[in-house]
Structure 1
Amino acid sequence: MTGRGKPAAGGGVWAGVAYVAIVFAVAFALGTVRTLLVAPRLGDTLAVTIEAPLILAVSWLASAWCVRVFQIPPAVAPRLTMGGVGFGLLMLLELGMSVLLFGRTPGDYLAAFLSRPGAIGLAAQLGFALVPLLQIKRAIPGRR
């Protein structure tokens, strides 16, 4: 931030970094519970279907916090920057985990999106990317 209380240049980038850090940490914990406890009992598709709205709710709260802390204005460009940076980093983090922790290839990682649980997860990730933009309407005074 600048000395006059205005957002510093690149605030959308740093907000996106903070946004993904918060949501990824929560998603990692929920994903562990989903993988170890829920999916074996209910199946992968239902487990991801249960997890996705929880992650989107966390995304909504984390985005609102980041917007406030980083003073991201209610304008399309900085909100898309925040969501786009968050989404890009999220995909890189997930690819890295897939390859380094689970021994999958990048092709395996991408192919997983073609499954029903993978498609649901990707839809939630795209929702995560759009949350900062969707919150603009709430941020403009006089808009309902």
Structure 2
Amino acid sequence: MKKILKYSALYFAIVFTIGFVLGTIRVLYVAPQLGDDQAELLEFPLMVLASFVVARYIVGLAGDGLKPAQLLWVGVMALGCLLMVEFSLVLALREMSIVTYVTSRYSLAGAAYLVSLLLFAVFPFVISIWGKPNK
């Protein structure tokens, strides 16, 4: 359990940091030019790629120390951390209520965001299965 917590915290921290930097660029520079939805859609593939690359790093770091089911927990727990921070810190910084935040997700960009969250959660598991050679 200690390893799962360690790797999920690391996975969350790295991806959140990347997302925070990209989100700042999006909000300050891209969204005023293109609009919020288009800016989020541009950020989507970058965040999915970042999640994938970091998940590969985490799976490699864990080596054979964690089984695929445990790596699924790494992703799920990292997602839990991400959502807790999103619903507290990010909403406070953007001065949004939870209701405003949820209703702002009823769009193509919102659907893309939900897909990115799902992928973020399952990437460690999928990579652990996909990356193993057949025996």
Q: Which of residues 65, 70, 75 is equivalent to 1:78?
A: 70
* 1:74, distance to aligned residue in structure 2 (A): 4.7
Q: Which residue of 1 aligns with 2:117?
A: 125
Q: Percent identity?
A: 30
Matched, 1:90 2:94: no
Question: TM-score, normalised to structure 2's length?
Answer: 0.86
Aligned residues: 134
| Structure 1 outlier segments of 4+, above 6 Å | none
2: CA distance, partners of 1:38 / 1:101? 18
Please tell me whether Structure 1 or Structure 2 has the larger radius of gyration of its CA atoms.
1
Aligned partner of 1:67 in structure 2 is: 59
**How far apart are 1:46 and its partner, in Å?**
1.9
1:3 alignment partner in structure 2: none
8 Å Cα contact 2:26/2:40 also seen in 1: yes
2:28 maps to which of 29, 36, 48: 36
- 1:47 lines up with 2:39 in the alignment: yes
Aligned Cα root-mean-square deviation (Å): 1.9
Deviates more, 1:121-130 or 1:28-37: 121-130
Extract unaligned runs of 5+ from structure 2. Answer: none
Q: Is the contact between residue 59 and residue 128 of structure 2 (CA under 8 Å) also seen in structure 1?
A: no
> TM-score by structure 1 length?
0.81
Q: Is the 8 A contact 2:11 2:54 kept in 1?
A: yes
